[in-house]
């Protein structure tokens, strides 16, 4: 039986919590997710999953509350150790590491430093580990063979970071999008719509193209910010339609061959 494919509809941007919330709404069981995440050995955090209705649409909002005190900023070696020692399935480990490695490369370019010297700060915090590994768990549990994504709308203005107030999109986000050649769209939103975690997940695991597919399930994941439109993204889960062309002009079979999200990649 062919693997499922996933299309990420980012009409209001993308963040780690939105992606994980949508994955849960699309069928990833919360208890199974919690069991898998427990294998990371992280303590003093709470994963809260809430079903909400915004502007007539039901979806899932995920909160990760870190109760730990004075956690050190993680570097790539520390994150790699946590993930590799988890005993999670090989594809979950491999995909999670690829996301963090892509993120470390982007941060290193920005700061003019070596990849192993990069401190992730917010990105290395517990919530980002949960969002990234949790999304990769969802790919494994829902048997997703390939991931696709829509163009990403970018807001404007500034965002507060560990390095002070910086322009939107944040430098790490923009570096990730530039390295992947990701398609972006202007937006009238005076706020950050695509976070570094969301950008890292999509530029690492997805092809930016809408596939021809038979949709079987849809999941909605909400963001925290209140916007004039529903601040959420949608995941479409289904089967690819063979020998058909997607929006970027290639056959689906060709894309799936190049965008599988398995450990052997």
Of 12-26, 41-55, 83-97, 112-126, which range is least confident? Answer: 112-126
Domain edges within the chain:
4-258
Measured between alpha carbons, how far is 16 from 221 in angstroms, rounded to an integer? 10
Average pLDDT over residues 30-36: 98
Tell me the per-residue pLDDT of 52-93, one tens digit each, with 9 for 90 and over. 999 999 999 999 988 765 555 578 888 999 999 999 999 999
Tell me the per-residue pLDDT of 123-153, one tens digit each, with 9 for 90 and over. 557 888 999 999 999 999 999 999 999 999 9
Confidence (pTM): 0.88
Q: Which residue has the higher pLDDT, 51 or 121?
A: 51
């Amino acid at each position: 039986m062919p693997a499922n494919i996933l299309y990420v509809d980012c009409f209001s941007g993308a963040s780690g919590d939105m992606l994980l919330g949508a994955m849960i709404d699309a069928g990833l069981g919360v208890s199974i997710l919690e069991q898998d995440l427990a294998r990371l050995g992280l303590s003093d955090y709470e994963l809260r999953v809430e079903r909400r209705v915004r502007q007539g649409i039901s979806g899932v909002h995920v909160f990760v509350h870190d109760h730990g005190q004075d956690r050190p900023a993680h570097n790539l070696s520390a994150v790699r150790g946590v993930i590799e020692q988890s005993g999670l399935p090989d594809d979950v480990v491999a995909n999670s590491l690829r996301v963090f490695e892509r993120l470390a490369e982007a941060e290193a370019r920005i700061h003019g430093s070596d990849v192993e010297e990069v401190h992730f700060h917010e990105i290395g915090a517990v919530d980002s580990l949960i969002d990234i590994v949790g999304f990769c768990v969802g790919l494994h549990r829902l048997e997703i063979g390939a991931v696709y994504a829509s163009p990403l709308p970018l807001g404007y203005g500034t965002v507060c970071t560990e390095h002070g107030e910086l322009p939107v999109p944040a430098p790490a986000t923009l570096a990730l999008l530039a390295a992947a050649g990701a398609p972006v769209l202007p937006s009238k939103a005076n706020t950050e719509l695509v976070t570094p975690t969301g950008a890292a997940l999509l530029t690492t695991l997805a092809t930016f193209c809408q596939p021809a597919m038979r949709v079987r399930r849809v999941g909605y994941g909400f963001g925290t910010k209140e916007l004039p439109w529903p601040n959420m993204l949608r995941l479409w889960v289904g089967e690819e339609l063979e020998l058909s062309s997607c929006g970027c002009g290639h056959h689906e079979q060709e894309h799936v061959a190049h965008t599988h999200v398995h450990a052997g990649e």
